[in-house]
Amino acid sequence: MFSWLRSLRAGPRIPDAAWQATLERYRFLAELPAPEAARLRELTALFLRDKRFYGAKGFVITDEVALAIAAQAVLPVLHLRGGLTWYDDFVGIVVHAEEVVARRRVTDPAQVVHEYDEVIAGEAMENGPVTLSWKAVLDSGSTAGTGYNVVIHEFAHKIDMRDGAVDGCPPLPAGFAGAPSANAARAAWLAVLKPAYDDFREQTILADRFGAEAPWLDDYGAVSIGEFFAVACEAYFVNRQRFGADFAPLLALFDKFFKPRRG
């Protein structure tokens, strides 16, 4: 167990060297303006105090592992009202050294049960733990150019799941985007997200089947609108400029939600 994590209970403080090393590895964190960076560090310390990390199959949770995951997980809730309470439905974060092999079980329309293994970089379960591959987390230190980030992906699902369904629409505050009711807010959200998803899906299919140019962003986003939201969040947080160039309406929508104080 790490001495400075224990000491966080008395007075949260992440050592400078450890914090700087995290910012250097995940450059999109270092690009935050000073007040936001200070808030990120503060919330990261509280996240480390409140969550529990488990190494799967002998994987050792070091300070580096816990800090890298915590700092990136905090980024989406940095400006949200409620802050870390968005992650209150779970405590555990399970980290595997390499890929995560998830056992799947599906029942087809003929009521035949199929079981298979799926290799994934991470997974978020409603009211359950977040599972991550440390290899995939490390990779995201150098994949901001492609908009890829497994930690933000899984924690975006957590935010989406706060109202139950993984449907690409997180619970929206009253008056979101000037909407008079929660239903109207949701309709306003989907009026932007759904066309962007449909368009992305179509471009992905055209690229796949007819050799058209593939859209920027992980094509995993074409799986469902819930996955599209998580994939879009990755890009929004790690490569705002490119995301804004390709998905301007989504950038404006996400700013309204993730940075409410800026309007």
Applying CB under 5 A, the residues found at the interface with Zn ion are 227, 230
3-state secondary structure of 113: strand
Nearest distance, CB of residue 148 and Zn ion, angstroms: 12
For Zn ion, give the closer residue by CB, 227 or 236: 227
How distant, in Å, are the alpha carbons of 74, 130, 168, 220, 249 from that of 69? 9, 11, 23, 22, 29
Which of helix, strand or coil describes residue 259? coil
Nearer to Zn ion, 68 or 227 (CB): 227
Instruction: Give the nearer residue to Zn ion in terms of CB position, either 102 or 212.
Output: 102
Q: Which is nearer to Zn ion, 144 or 151 (CB)?
A: 151
CB of residue 9 to Zn ion, shortest distance in Å: 32
DSSP helix, strand, coil percent of the chain (3-state; round to 5): 60, 10, 30
In the complex, residue closest to Zn ion by CB: 230
Between 227 and 250, CB nearer to Zn ion: 227
Shortest approach of Zn ion to residue 56 CB, angstroms? 19
Tokens representing 209? 């089947």
Task: Calculate the alpha carbon distances from 154 to 65, 109, 126, 214, 230 in Å.
Answer: 16, 29, 11, 24, 7
Q: Which two tokens stand for residue 70?
A: 């915590």
What kind and span of H or E run contains 231? helix 225-238
Work out how close the CB of 210 gets to Zn ion at its nearest, in angstroms, rounded to a whole number.
26
